[in-house]
Amino acid sequence: MSKTNVDEKFLDKKITRRQMLKLTGVGVAGLAIGASGLGGVLSAFGEELFVDDDTTATNKVNFYGKHQSGIATAVQTNIYFAALNVLVNSKQELQELFKMWTPLAIRMMNGESISMEKQNDLIPPKDTGEAQGLDARNLSITFGVGLSLFEKQELGLASLKPAELKDLPHFPKDQLDEAYTGGDICIQACADDPQVAFHAVRNLVRAASGKVTIKWSQAGFNSFPVEKGKKQTPRNLFAFKDGTENPSGEKDMNEVVWVQPGESTSWMTSGTYLVVRRIQLHLETWDRTSLKEQEKTFGRHRESGAPLGKRNEFDGMEIERKDENGNYIVPENSHVFLAKQAKARIMRRSYSYSSGIIDSTGAYDAGLVFVSFQKDPEQFIKIQNALGRLDKLNEYITHRGSGVFACFPGVKKGSYIGEALFNTL
């Protein structure tokens, strides 16, 4: 193959790395050539041109699309969530950070190492290597930016801050720990393997050494019962199903989750807002509570997930139902009853966590990594305000951490994470 023909094909950014290897006749062993062969091609054209979703990869979630992955993506078994502090001092440096992260995220979502370069054994490896030998495990990586990023004067982003991006008000049962609150940037890595999720965040932060630091992070897990070959709704550590009434379908998602043109600042179109809450569940208290009281607390049957007085998980709640004595079947102070009063919807994507014990009493530091997506954080605020101090669940929970982030729209091929934001500068 002539150099001219190779160049023409390489200039098509849709080419995958696997196709590139075939075009150049270089196999895995050929990567050791260094500056000759493939190495020279990468140096001439920029390695990022060749990073594409590998549709032949096993357990693969696509990176490119109208929306970011990890939002409407089928919920995986593990999450590693990290909130970062930004250390760069200019818009250009911040833009370059997201450009640098883009090919790395794609490679890891392909189940690959973050670098194709020949390893020099005299320096630390570019990829930390703990995911070597594992496939993509349905890894998704979602990026968002927090209010504090727009408040950094040196970055000059204040005029681009969406009006919807603001601190949450104080809610009952809030005892927020600054160590688990806020952040300039968030990275949500979800995968069907805890090591793959952790590896993704670890390598993105490591590659950005000197540009970001981790402010706080939290690992979480889910388990999915399977019936008749179909995944069922996961349960939280209180053993109740979590995520039963999520929106589904394009129309529903457009109404609840995805920002539509004119609904927020222009760069947020097709994006969404992420709310994360680190909620401690007081398991010791819950475990001393009768099953009947547990079900009255949630407003659902524990085993089936059905609304009280009904049989199936997805039966309508119909909170106005009353018994023969005129009492509400779903108690007025139950979690579900009060949440319904808000007349607002969100998409929940939550995980359980367990981080040892809190103090010498031996109480579990365990609970819920609550994650929700909505086109406006006000949807979440309405629900929390409706729960208020009446929510019977308040007896068993304490909110310890919190964050709100604007999640970029999806990335087109040949583009990079957050381009819509920087194109408006």
Residue 379 scores a pLDDT above 50: yes
**Dist. CA 220–CA 77, nearest whole Å:** 8
**Dist. CA 86–CA 187, nearest whole Å:** 13
Q: Which of 218, 369, 363 is nearest to 279 (CA)?
A: 369
pLDDT of residue 425: 61
φ, ψ at 104 (rounded to 5°):
-65, -45
Residue 30 scores a pLDDT above 80: no
Mean of all residue pLDDT scores within the chain: 89
Residue 28 scores a pLDDT above 60: no
**Dist. CA 152–CA 146, nearest whole Å:** 11
**Dist. CA 254–CA 4, nearest whole Å:** 45
φ, ψ at 213 (rounded to 5°):
-135, 155
Burial class (CB in 10 A: 0-12, 13-18, 19+), 68: buried
Count the neighbouring beta carbons within 10 Å of the beta carbon of residue 4: 8
pLDDT of residue 50: 62
φ, ψ at 113 (rounded to 5°):
-70, 155
pLDDT of residue 104: 97
- Provide DSSP, 209-269: BTTEEEEEEEEEE----EETTEEPPPB-TTS-B--TT---SHHHHHHHTSPPTTSS-GGGT
**Residue 323 pLDDT class (50, 70, 90 cuts):** very high
**Dist. CA 122–CA 202, nearest whole Å:** 22
For the segment 127-133, the average pLDDT, to the nearest whole number, is 96
For the segment 74-88, the average pLDDT, to the nearest whole number, is 97
For the segment 357-378, the average pLDDT, to the nearest whole number, is 92
**Dist. CA 142–CA 418, nearest whole Å:** 11
User: What's 290's DSSP letter?
Assistant: -
Residue 198 scores a pLDDT above 80: yes
**Residue 40 pLDDT class (50, 70, 90 cuts):** very low
pLDDT of residue 38: 31
**Dist. CA 200–CA 108, nearest whole Å:** 7
Q: Which of 141, 110, 138 is nearest to 407 (CA)?
A: 141
Q: What is the pLDDT of residues 229-267, one digit of tens each?
A: 899 999 999 999 998 889 989 999 999 999 999 999 999
User: What's 354's DSSP letter?
Assistant: E
CB 379 within 8 A of CB 257: no
CB 109 within 8 A of CB 53: yes
For the segment 357-384, the average pLDDT, to the nearest whole number, is 93
C-alpha gyration radius of the chain: 23
Sign, CA torsion 64/69/74/78: positive
**Dist. CA 411–CA 109, nearest whole Å:** 14
Q: What is the pLDDT of residues 258-299, one digit of tens each?
A: 999 999 999 999 999 999 999 999 999 999 999 999 999 999
